Structure 1
Amino acid sequence: MRIIVQKFGGTSLSTSQAKEHVIHHIKRERDNGYAVVVVVSAIGRRGDPYATDTLLEQLAPFAAYVDLKEQDMLLSCGEMISATLIGTQIRAAGMPAVVLSGAEAGIETDDDYGSAKIIAIHPERIVKALEAGQVVVVTGFQGRTKQGAITTLGRGGSDTSATALGAALQAEIVDIYTDVNGVLTADPKLVSDARPIAKVSYAEICHMAREGAKVVHPRAVEIAQQARIPVRVRSTFSEEEGTLVQDEAWQHNEHAVLDRHVTGIAYALGITQLHVSGTEQQPHDPRLIFESLAAHGISVDFINVTASHSLFTVQGEQAQLAEKLIAEQGLQVRLEAACAKVSVIGGGMNGQPGVMARIVSALSQEQIPILQSADSNAAIWVLVKEKHMAMALKCLHSTFDLNR
């Protein structure tokens, strides 16, 4: 049995016309010989009646009294509604269908309510329905504990549900349908000549997702990578195949021509840089700094530590608390607020000399100071001021010929 998993986000289910496109995609894959599993998010976005953020807002006035287990019961309602509606419409289109909650689909999680982790999937009920020729519609974003309590998987949970089910069912491919036609080389709102990317590696898409290209959740990609299941990011409103995410082996094919080492440019805003140094009374002690921040749940990035100082970044909303904690240790701390992280991403640049030189040259020509930098196997990050971020994106996009 050839299985395909199709995940449809909230905008794909928000109107009657959008739902007609969903039905078309399901019917096309059935006609292509696939057994189809459909994973759905809640309908719409913030402000729409059953969107997850809208449901959360109902509890906001009573935040001090919220029980997280009960909150997950509420948040699961959005997917229950969308799954029931789309399941009914599938049957109305002449295709047999069954709707399953995350619990009924066999998605077992831990009891970290609001951000539960999948620990096992028992797909027997799904397999039985597929063998009977039914389209199986599963509520994304949710599962159940061993004790039977409803849980939700946190942000990007429906993407995670889709790839986890794909892995458990040994699906041929997982299609993530959204309102854009795949992954672009940059944010088209800021870079007018951004173009679609036909193919990326798991590592590249994870970097892009973490750094602002919000087309698929990195946790979902990591699950697909472990199971070696290809993922496509596609538009609900198009027949185009979008962006294919698969193993990096294609990049290292000896017959391939890697004339482009950079795949895309991403960014993140709202970052504050902290420069911490010692005083005559209190020498610089990185251990005290980072242990204190960790104990208060503050995540750090762009970390540079020397004998005399520590330089790192935090999210802007955590900057005041971080400053207070460090000052309480008797250390000097200087803040640089309103910074942006610009990411140059590409598996093909690993081991290629000159990439950083081109980044520095391009930004220097636009008189954009680099406040800090870091790198990994598939990305180079630079920290700039927010006021320079848009220009940094444009000039780096052009420098690496991503508009061609």
Structure 2
Amino acid sequence: MARQVDNSRIIVKKFGGTSVMTQGDRSRIRDLVLLDLQKELIPVLVVSAMGRQSAPYATDTLIGLYRQIHQATNHRDLDLLMSCGEIISATLISATLNAAGLVSRALTGFHAGIVTDNTHGGAEVLAVNPEYIEKLLSEGIIPVISGFQGISVEGEITTLGRGGSDTTAALIGEALKAQKVEIYTDVEGVMTADPTIVENATILSGMTYEEMYEMARHGAKVLDFNAVDVAKRSGLKLVIKNSSSSFAGTTVTDRVLDERVLTAITSDEPWTQYQLENLKESFDDKGFMDELSRRKISIDMINFFEASKYFIIDSRLEDSLDEALEALGIAYDKRKDCAKVTVIGHRIHGVPGIMRRIVNALEGNGITILQTSDSSMTISCLIRNDRASDAVNYLHQAFDMEKNEG
């Protein structure tokens, strides 16, 4: 019999690849669902493919299988194959819940009502229709949704790009007007730096959407920035936590913690720096940018002057950019093997001396700053990538971030 669903009790729970790998992992998911039900909450699950690269059903493994035969990157058939990893996870977790006496159903992105454009490999979501999910919930059935995928307006399976399962969870949470979205991963929460780089990195109990967005955009792998965008526009609370721990994790909302200067430090690589110098007055800026757009080359850390241009690109796009520059007859120099280290915080431009401390921490330890850029809450420094880990540690120490428990 159908029942009225109180959307304020819906909790969307997204489980990453390392949280669904083994039957032990899936049993922990079952226990978390049972705990929600005991609290009279309504769980809706979103899952990633099992494991990481080299795991049999991981997305990277499936891509590797395909590219042994064909190198196409944005292809309809490749999307079809990549979507299988999440579907396998969803069916196994649904089976685990059903075996425990619960009533569950595995769903594809199509079943979940996620409609996209026709782009393969990184589709844009056009609409989310939660009608079928709501029907299941009204019948007491727990949906287990395959993340990372949707259905195009032409009826083709599409994928949402890296981090797409996070985005799926946020979109479902928004469409259902859920109480919150919980992102389960293999760390206790968002930390002041990557704990594999900085041993004394600390867990942040709370942060803003903007801070989380900038962390994700500048290399932090804990959450996809598209998911943060969705959460921010709908005021949806995000909680990042560990499925193997009872730790409260990190809550992401619009609440600003004014007392801390910096929130986190990230590093991202590989980047290649380009230098276009001694440009003539006749240099066609529009034609240059149009060619980059045509080739889908995004540039970052941009410094454009009348007679020179400096910027960086993802190193994987070097060949395409070199080809474009040579076709346009533009001379250039480039510096390979670079990393971008970024400090992030709401008060970064409201406290004097931040840049001085950054320069002292890096240059004072023999790390040359090749280029800088900034925004309202970030300062990024381009350095050689063999010093990236050192740079993050020196900055973390210079700003006493091991004491940052905000």
> Normalising TM by the smaller chain, what interval?
over 0.9
Residue 170 of structure 1 deviates from its aligned partner by 0.2
Q: Deviations over 1:193-219 (max 9, x none)?
A: 111111111111111112221011111
Residue 99 of structure 1 deviates from its aligned partner by 2.1
Residue 64 of structure 1 deviates from its aligned partner by 6.0
Farther off after superposition, 127-136 or 322-331: 322-331
Amino acid at match of 1:310: K
Q: Distance in 1 between matches of 2:283 and 2:83?
A: 48
Match of 2:129 among 122, 132, 141: 122
Residue 69 of structure 1 deviates from its aligned partner by 2.5
Secondary structure of 1:332 counterpart: coil
**2:275 aligns to what?**
275
Secondary structure of 1:349 counterpart: coil
- Classify 1:241/1:347 alpha carbon distance in 2 versus 1 (closer, same or farther; 3 Å): same
Farther off after superposition, 378-387 or 292-301: 292-301
- Please tell me whether residue 401 in structure 1 is matched to residue 393 in structure 2: no
For the aligned residue pairs, the C-alpha RMSD in angstroms reads 2.0
Secondary structure of 1:48 counterpart: coil
Q: Distance in 2 between matches of 1:162 and 1:65?
A: 28
**1:173 aligns to what?**
180
Residue 16 of structure 1 deviates from its aligned partner by 1.6
Amino acid at match of 2:167: T
Q: Distance in 2 between matches of 1:147 and 1:189?
A: 43
Q: Distance in 1 between matches of 2:261 and 2:307?
A: 36
Match of 2:170 among 159, 163, 167: 163
Q: Distance in 2 between matches of 1:227 and 1:181?
A: 25
Secondary structure of 1:76 counterpart: helix
- Please tell me whether residue 233 in structure 1 is matched to residue 240 in structure 2: yes
Contact 1:103 / 1:143 at 8 angstroms: preserved in 2? yes
Contact 1:284 / 1:307 at 8 angstroms: preserved in 2? no
Contact 1:3 / 1:36 at 8 angstroms: preserved in 2? yes
Residue 65 of structure 1 deviates from its aligned partner by 7.9
Q: Distance in 1 between matches of 2:73 and 2:378?
A: 40
**1:391 aligns to what?**
390
Secondary structure of 2:211 counterpart: helix
Q: Distance in 2 between matches of 1:23 and 1:165?
A: 20
Residue 59 of structure 1 deviates from its aligned partner by 1.8
Secondary structure of 2:90 counterpart: helix
- Classify 1:326/1:68 alpha carbon distance in 2 versus 1 (closer, same or farther; 3 Å): closer
Contact 1:279 / 1:330 at 8 angstroms: preserved in 2? no
- Please tell me whether residue 325 in structure 1 is matched to residue 324 in structure 2: yes
Contact 1:167 / 1:227 at 8 angstroms: preserved in 2? yes
Q: Distance in 2 between matches of 1:146 and 1:290?
A: 30
- Please tell me whether residue 55 in structure 1 is matched to residue 55 in structure 2: no
Q: Deviations over 1:317-376 (max 9, x none)?
A: 333443443344444322122111000011232433322222122223213221111111
**2:31 aligns to what?**
24
- Please tell me whether residue 107 in structure 1 is matched to residue 114 in structure 2: yes
Contact 1:184 / 1:197 at 8 angstroms: preserved in 2? yes
- Please tell me whether residue 187 in structure 1 is matched to residue 194 in structure 2: yes
Secondary structure of 1:388 counterpart: helix
* Within-5 A mapping of 1:2-401: 2-63=9-70, 68-247=75-254, 250-251=255-256, 258-278=258-278, 285-401=284-400
- Classify 1:100/1:329 alpha carbon distance in 2 versus 1 (closer, same or farther; 3 Å): closer
5+ unaligned residues in a row in structure 1: which ranges? none
Residue 67 of structure 1 deviates from its aligned partner by 8.7
Secondary structure of 1:114 counterpart: coil
Residue 299 of structure 1 deviates from its aligned partner by 1.6
Q: Distance in 1 between matches of 2:327 and 2:133?
A: 56
Contact 1:278 / 1:284 at 8 angstroms: preserved in 2? no
TM-score (structure 1 length as normaliser): 0.92
Q: Distance in 2 between matches of 1:265 and 1:66?
A: 31
- Classify 1:222/1:327 alpha carbon distance in 2 versus 1 (closer, same or farther; 3 Å): same
**2:3 aligns to what?**
none
Q: Distance in 2 between matches of 1:118 and 1:320?
A: 30
5+ unaligned residues in a row in structure 2: which ranges? 1-5
Q: Give the fraction of aligned pairs with identical amino acids, expressed as a percent.
A: 38
- Classify 1:307/1:243 alpha carbon distance in 2 versus 1 (closer, same or farther; 3 Å): same
User: Would you say how many aligned residue pairs link Structure 1 and Structure 2?
Assistant: 396
